[in-house]
């Protein structure tokens, strides 16, 4: 029996006790007896995603999760990752995890707004929290408790599963010079951002990532947002539209999520539960790190090699969208007690963190530029 198995079975402190009281040989014999008496049970999980298999950034999160879980558990928990459509369609991930078709899922909470309206706050809110702030609200500001409460009736446990950082505003084939230019525009834009566009006179369309390029190229939609330079370049969106707008007012730091079937999670021994939680937390930070590193290189390529024209939304357009966004979100919250509860927590956190970030993050970035 190899020593690393001794570690995983007994833990480091138990190991030192055993070795401290007897010879190495005796310790090994004792371990064998432990192994014979209690063979380690292994678990195989299926993880379904809303992303195409191995899609850069978003799709790599669940792959890394699977790899780290297997490594940390020494193979006692293995996770097989299924891309969108391989086991279930992209937008049925939540249901699949809820029903136990898969033990785990990876996606974004705003995809489930039809089922859990308040879930949107756990992906992104127009003009809301950025990545750093959202991580803080969920982890240390009471967000996670509210999120768990929302998914509890579905037998699903949520966890943060990555963040894109501030997204880009989207791809258009015409310039946006005033709020009126959004009227009649058929744009792929999910979640609350979509509702804001609708109130500004546009038509929001919900499409999973894998269907965006064809829809834009064939004119089924006039415009789209996706993520940012790294992902948008990979999808070839620059081949179907020439104007690339910023900033992504609608998604200022979109969080991805892991979902776990509650029963499957609770069947795991405590150490494997901890491994699942720690691996999710690792992926959450890792994805943001990767996006930050790759987006600027991809933007250079889009502009330098493909001639993409980068445009900033005019201030008055952003201001108009901001006004619509605030009233839209408030209105949704007033209609539904479960949304109101999350909204109140989110808004309180936003107001406070905004004050502090004025004199910290923002002040520093302005100083540097």
Residues 248-277 touching Ca ion, rule: CB under 5 A, are 251
Binding mask 197-216 for Ca ion (x = CB under 5 A): --------------------
Rounded Cα distance, 106 and 280, in Å: 10
CB 70 → Ca ion: shortest distance, Å? 30
CB 110 → Ca ion: shortest distance, Å? 9
Long-range contacts of 32-39 (CB under 8 A, 24+ apart): 32/1, 34/9, 34/10, 35/1, 35/5, 35/9, 38/9
Specify the stretch interacting with Ca ion by CB under 5 A; choose among 32-40, 247-255, 283-291, 318-326.
Answer: 247-255
Contact 85, 304 (CB under 8 A): no
Tokens found for residue 269: 């021994």
**Helix extents (H) in the chain:** 3-10, 12-21, 24-37, 60-72, 93-99, 131-140, 143-151, 191-199, 212-217, 229-235, 262-267, 270-304, 315-335, 337-359, 361-368
The CB-nearest residue to Ca ion is 251
Specify the stretch interacting with Ca ion by CB under 5 A; choose among 87-95, 103-111, 161-169, 213-221.
Answer: 161-169
Residues 215-234 touching Ca ion, rule: CB under 5 A, are 225
Q: Are strands 77-82 and 170-172 parallel, antiparallel or unpaired?
A: unpaired
CB burial class (10 A; 0-12, 13-18, 19+) of residue 259?
Answer: buried
CB 202 → Ca ion: shortest distance, Å? 15
Considering CB under 5 A, how many residues would be counted as binding Ca ion?
3
Q: In the complex with Ca ion, which residue's Cβ is closer, 141 or 170?
A: 170
**Residue 48: strand, helix, or coil:** strand
CB 227 → Ca ion: shortest distance, Å? 5
Which residues does residue 187 pair with via DSSP β-bridges, in sequence order? 204, 223
Residue corresponding to tokens 């402190």? 13
Q: What is the DSSP letter of 314?
A: P
CB 351 → Ca ion: shortest distance, Å? 25
Q: CB 64: neighbour CB atoms within 10 A?
A: 17
Residues 60-79 touching Ca ion, rule: CB under 5 A, are none
Please report the DSSP string for 15-30 in residue order: HHHHHHHS-HHHHHHH
Rounded Cα distance, 303 and 233, in Å: 11
Q: In the complex with Ca ion, which residue's Cβ is closer, 92 or 251?
A: 251
Rounded Cα distance, 32 and 41, in Å: 16
CB 295 → Ca ion: shortest distance, Å? 13
Q: In the complex with Ca ion, which residue's Cβ is closer, 95 or 251?
A: 251
**Residue 165: strand, helix, or coil:** coil
Residue corresponding to tokens 């191995």? 54
Q: In the complex with Ca ion, which residue's Cβ is closer, 87 or 168?
A: 168
Q: In the complex with Ca ion, which residue's Cβ is closer, 118 or 192?
A: 192
Q: In the complex with Ca ion, which residue's Cβ is closer, 45 or 313?
A: 313
CB 266 → Ca ion: shortest distance, Å? 33
Q: In the complex with Ca ion, which residue's Cβ is closer, 73 or 167?
A: 167
Q: In the complex with Ca ion, which residue's Cβ is closer, 103 or 225?
A: 225
Q: In the complex with Ca ion, which residue's Cβ is closer, 62 or 126?
A: 126
Q: What is the DSSP letter of 220?
A: S
Calculate the alpha carbon distances from 227 to 130, 146, 313 in Å: 14, 26, 16
Q: In the complex with Ca ion, which residue's Cβ is closer, 254 or 259?
A: 254
Specify the stretch interacting with Ca ion by CB under 5 A; choose among 30-38, 64-72, 246-254, 320-328.
Answer: 246-254
Specify the stretch interacting with Ca ion by CB under 5 A; choose among 40-48, 59-67, 160-168, 284-292.
Answer: 160-168
Which residues does residue 188 pair with via DSSP β-bridges, in sequence order? 205, 224
Specify the stretch interacting with Ca ion by CB under 5 A; choose among 100-108, 165-173, 205-213, 238-246.
Answer: 165-173
Specify the stretch interacting with Ca ion by CB under 5 A; choose among 25-33, 159-167, 232-240, 308-316.
Answer: 159-167
Binding mask 108-147 for Ca ion (x = CB under 5 A): ----------------------------------------
Rounded Cα distance, 14 and 37, in Å: 17
Contact 345, 142 (CB under 8 A): yes
Residues that bind Ca ion (CB under 5 A): 167, 225, 251
């Amino acid at each position: 029996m190899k020593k690393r198995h001794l570690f995983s079975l007994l833990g480091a402190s138990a190991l030192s006790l055993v070795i401290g009281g007897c010879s190495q040989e005796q310790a090994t014999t004792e371990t064998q007896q432990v192994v014979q008496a209690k063979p380690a049970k292994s678990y195989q999980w299926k993880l379904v995603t809303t992303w195409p298999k191995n899609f850069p950034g978003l799709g790599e999160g669940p792959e890394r999760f699977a790899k780290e879980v297997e490594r940390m558990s020494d193979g006692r928990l293995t996770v097989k990752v299924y891309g969108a459509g391989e086991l279930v369609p992209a937008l049925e991930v939540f249901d699949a995890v809820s029903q136990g078709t898969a033990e785990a899922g990876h996606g974004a909470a705003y995809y489930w707004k039809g089922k859990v309206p308040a879930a949107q706050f756990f992906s992104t809110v127009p003009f809301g929290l950025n990545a750093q702030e959202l991580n803080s609200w969920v982890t240390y500001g009471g967000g996670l408790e509210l999120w768990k409460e929302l998914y509890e009736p579905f037998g699903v446990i949520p966890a943060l599963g990555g963040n894109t950082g501030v997204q880009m505003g989207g791809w258009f084939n015409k310039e946006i010079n005033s709020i009126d230019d959004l009227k009649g525009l058929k744009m792929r834009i999910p979640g609350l951002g979509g509702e804001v566009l609708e109130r500004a006179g546009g038509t929001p369309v919900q499409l999973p990532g894998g269907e965006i390029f064809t829809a834009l190229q064939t004119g089924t939609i006039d415009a789209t947002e996706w993520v940012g330079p790294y992902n948008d370049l990979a999808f070839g969106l620059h081949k179907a539209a020439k104007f690339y707008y910023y900033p992504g007012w609608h998604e200022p730091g979109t969080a991805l999520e892991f979902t776990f079937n509650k029963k499957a999670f609770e069947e795991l021994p405590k150490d494997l539960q901890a491994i699942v939680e720690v691996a999710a937390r690792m992926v959450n930070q890792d994805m943001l790190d990767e996006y930050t590193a790759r987006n600027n290189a991809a933007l250079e390529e889009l502009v330098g090699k493909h001639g993409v024209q980068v445009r900033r939304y005019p201030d008055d357009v952003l201001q108009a969208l901001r006004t619509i966004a605030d009233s839209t979100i408030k209105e949704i919250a007033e209609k539904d007690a479960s949304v109101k509860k999350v909204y109140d927590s989110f808004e309180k956190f936003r107001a406070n963190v905004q004050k502090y970030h004025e004199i910290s993050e923002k002040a520093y970035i302005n100083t540097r530029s």
